[in-house]
């Protein structure tokens, strides 16, 4: 094993996985994490054992003896409530601390007991994650002992594209449907020759991992949706509760069906420390969903929800038609999202969905019955690529491949956000990087001093995600930042050619700023300063 490791992690809503790249051969190895039918996957469940040890992936314990000592899905909490804390054994842990613990245990299971051996770690994020959540993931990875510059990020559908093989189509759609999110991207496989380096063949390169078997292209459009397999499970749980009401089950009778239409109330029920029956129902729903992917119906007997209070729900038969009916709302949301993606693709290329030649499925939820049916109908000229062997590990594999080289850009990705600087005088944000710009990015702006003998310049970076109404402060470690530059004083002012500021985003997908004083012909140091939320508000109010 090489001394330095190049690691890709898929931190999933339901399952997580780890892949390691051999930089000499280009070969990707999935690391075994568990026993059974899916040894390369482990549930994203974190529990603290009765002896004080941390346990990951133990669903039966988390639903039983450790139910008060478990977090059922860390990524769900990151998506829904970043301020989430967990108290066990009279000690309270922040979400960043919990994610760091999970990642450490995940790597240990993958045979990486010393994270310091990692040279580069790639983590993927849902398309619609904001900078705050990205910063929390970075902070968790730093707690493993890594330097922030060793941690690279990319969007989840782009991770899938990095693991693709030859697909006979110019335009390909990734449909990554996981437990908590649906992420999609359409790529032009023949567009970005500017980002394609010369292919250097290595005598030990595995033929399956040869660069010639990976296409080079550009993401034309991408979109993320906060709908996943969990939402489909919720629809089945609601159906179970309805059947329980019909049988006179007292626990089901106490549950208002309106609860399922209110995400916040439903999430509170799922995470309630005293009631674990919802997670038991969800586990049964997951099993039923898998069966209905291959069969027309399934029958389950649900044990007592609260022993001593009810007798369970007996002889519940769910047909494929029932599943299709009860999942109407998430299906409609998915259809609307696909429509928006197609419109975005058309605006970028003047092409239509009929020009898509291949659809690559990823994520366990993409196996539910209606997904391939919908995609075959919407993309009549596309080949639906299943590749079940890598269906739930593509993201980890793609992340590992992404770590390969700082200069290699197999897929030119769009930024997906506007990045600008706040102008205190004009009370507005000036855009520097547009959401359609392609990584890597290097933009140069000129700024001038506004006061004689000025000694410093502060710039407030701002970000606006696609679909957002306004800019928000760029955050690192969960706090807004400013860039501070100490400059040599000069009596002149308003010289716009004096200072050149370069805004660059490299393969780590982290914004970096450098500055040069053209008057004194010298580099200017740029320091990142973290601000408290109250301090940021004051600076805005004061202009």
What is the predicted pLDDT for the residue at 339?
A: 96
> What is residue 210's predicted lDDT score, i.e. its pLDDT?
53
132 band by pLDDT with thresholds 50, 70 and 90 = confident
Q: Specify the CATH number for the domain of residue 435.
A: 2.60.34.10
Using the predicted structure, report yes or no on whether residue 274 has a pLDDT greater than 80.
no
What does each C-alpha distance from 342 to 47, 154, 225 come to in angstroms? Answer: 42, 22, 14
2 has pLDDT over 70: no
Percent of the chain residues topping a pLDDT of 90:
67
- Average pLDDT rounded to a whole number, residues 275-302: 91
For residue 275, pLDDT beyond 80: no
Q: Do 445 and 382 belong to one domain? A: no
How many domains does the chain divide into? 2
In this structure, is residue 125 part of a structural domain? yes
Residue 283 lies in a domain: no
CB atoms within 10 A of CB 14: 24
Average pLDDT for residues 4-12, to the nearest whole number?
A: 96
Verify that 107 and 137 share a domain, yes or no: yes
181/193 same-domain check: yes
Please check whether residue 397 lies inside any domain of the structure: yes
In this structure, the answer to whether residues 492 and 393 fall within a common structural domain is no
Q: Taking residues 180-188, what's their average pLDDT?
A: 94
Check pLDDT > 70 for residue 347: yes
Measuring CA to CA, which residue among 431, 398, 435, 391 is closest to residue 413?
435
Last residue of a domain, one of 359, 393, 411: 411
Select from 411, 432, 447 the last residue of a domain. 411
Last residue of a domain, one of 411, 443, 475: 411
- Which strands form 441-447's sheet, in the order they lie side by side? 441-447, 499-505, 511-517, 522-524
Dihedral of alpha carbons 192, 170, 153, 27, sign: negative
Domain assignment present for 110: yes
Longest alpha-carbon distance in the chain: 85
Q: Quickly list H helices, 21-94.
A: 59-63, 74-80
Range of the domain at 186: 5-227+336-411
10: in domain: yes
pLDDT, residue 209, reads 54
Q: Based on the fold, state whether residues 94 and 114 are members of the same structural domain.
A: yes
Over residues 144-171, mean pLDDT: 88
On whether residue 331 sits in a domain, the answer given is: no
Same domain, 407 and 509: no
Question: What pLDDT, on the 0 to 100 scale, is given for residue 240?
Answer: 97
pLDDT (tens digit per residue) in 411-438: 889 888 899 998 877 788 999 999 889 9
Within this chain, do residues 85 and 199 fall inside the same structural domain, yes or no? yes
> Which H/E stretch holds residue 187?
strand 182-188
The CATH number of residue 64's host domain is 3.30.420.40
- Whether 10 has a pLDDT exceeding 90, the answer reads yes
Residue 516 and residue 487 in one domain: yes
Q: Are residues 10 and 44 in the same domain?
A: yes
Asked, for residue 241, whether it belongs to a domain, the answer is no
Higher pLDDT, 271 or 455: 455
Same domain as 381, residue 513: no
pLDDT at 191: 64
Closest CA to 360 of 184, 142, 182, 132: 184
Half-sphere exposure of residue 270: CA atoms within 13 angstroms, side-chain side:
24
360/173 Cα distance (integer angstroms):
6
Indicate whether 163 pLDDT > 90: no
Strand partners, 446: 500
Statement to judge: residues 168 and 119 lie in one domain = yes
Residue 192 · residue 174 · CB < 8 Å = no
In a domain, 261, yes or no: no
Q: How, if at all, do strands 313-319 and 358-362 pair?
A: unpaired
Q: Are residues 406 and 475 in the same domain?
A: no
- The predicted-structure confidence for 481-528, as pLDDT tens digits, reads as follows 999 999 999 999 888 889 999 999 999 988 899 999 999 999 999 999
Per-residue pLDDT, 298: 96
């Amino acid at each position: 094993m090489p001394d330095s490791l190049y690691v890709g992690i898929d931190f999933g809503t339901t399952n997580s996985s780890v892949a390691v790249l051999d930089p000499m051969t280009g070969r990707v190895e999935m690391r075994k994490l568990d026993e059974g039918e899916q040894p390369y996957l482990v549930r994203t469940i974190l529990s603290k054992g009765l002896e004080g040890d941390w346990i990951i992936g133990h669903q039966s314990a988390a639903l039983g003896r450790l139910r008060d000592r478990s977090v059922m899905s860390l990524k769900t909490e990151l998506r829904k409530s970043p301020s989430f804390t967990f108290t066990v054994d009279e000690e309270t842990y922040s979400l960043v601390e919990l994610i760091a613990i999970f990642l450490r245990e995940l790597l240990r299971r993958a045979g990486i007991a010393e994270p310091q051996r990692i040279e580069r770690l790639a983590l993927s994020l849902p398309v619609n994650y904001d900078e705050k959540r990205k910063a929390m993931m970075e902070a968790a990875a730093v707690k493993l002992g890594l330097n922030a510059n060793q941690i690279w990020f990319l969007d989840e559908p782009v991770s899938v594209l990095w693991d693709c093989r030859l697909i006979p189509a110019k335009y390909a759609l990734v449909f990554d449907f996981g437990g908590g999110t649906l992420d999609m991207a359409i790529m032009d496989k023949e567009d970005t020759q500017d980002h394609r380096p010369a292919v250097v063949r290595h005598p030990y390169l595995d033929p399956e991992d040869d660069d010639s078997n990976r296409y080079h292209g550009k993401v034309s459009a991408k979109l993320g949706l906060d709908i996943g397999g969990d939402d489909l499970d919720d629809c089945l749980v609601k159906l179970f509760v309805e059947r329980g009401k019909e049988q006179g089950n007292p626990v089901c009778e106490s549950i208002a069906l309106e609860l399922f239409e209110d995400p916040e109330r439903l999430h509170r029920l799922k995470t309630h420390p005293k009631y674990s029956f919802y997670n038991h129902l969800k586990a049964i729903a997951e099993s039923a969903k898998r069966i209905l992917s291959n069969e027309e119906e399934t029958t389950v007997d649900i044990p007592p929800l609260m022993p001593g209070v009810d007798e369970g729900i007996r002889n519940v038969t769910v047909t494929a038609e029932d599943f299709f009916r009860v999942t109407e709302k998430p299906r409609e949301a998915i259809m609307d999202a696909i429509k928006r993606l197609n419109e975005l693709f058309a605006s970028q290329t003047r092409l239509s969905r009929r020009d898509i030649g291949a659809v690559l499925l990823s994520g366990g939820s993409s196996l539910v019955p209606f997904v391939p049916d919908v995609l075959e109908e919407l993309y009549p000229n596309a080949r639906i690529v299943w590749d079940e062997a890598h269906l739930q590990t593509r993201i980890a594999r793609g992340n590992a491949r992404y770590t390969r080289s700082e200069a290699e850009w197999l897929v030119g990705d769009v930024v997906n956000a506007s990045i600008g600087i706040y102008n205190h005088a004009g009370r507005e944000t000036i855009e520097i990087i547009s959401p359609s710009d392609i990584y890597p990015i290097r933009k140069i702006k000129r700024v001038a001093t506004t006061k004689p003998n000025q000694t410093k310049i502060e710039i407030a970076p701002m970000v606006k995600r696609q679909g957002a109404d306004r800019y928000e402060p760029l955050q690192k470690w969960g706090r807004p930042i400013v860039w501070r530059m100490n400059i040599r004083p000069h009596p002149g002012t308003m010289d716009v050619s004096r200072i050149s500021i370069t805004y660059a985003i490299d393969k780590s997908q982290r914004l970096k700023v450098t500055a040069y004083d053209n008057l004194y012909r010298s580099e200017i140091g740029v320091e990142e300063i973290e601000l408290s939320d109250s301090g940021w508000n004051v600076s805005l109010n004061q202009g």
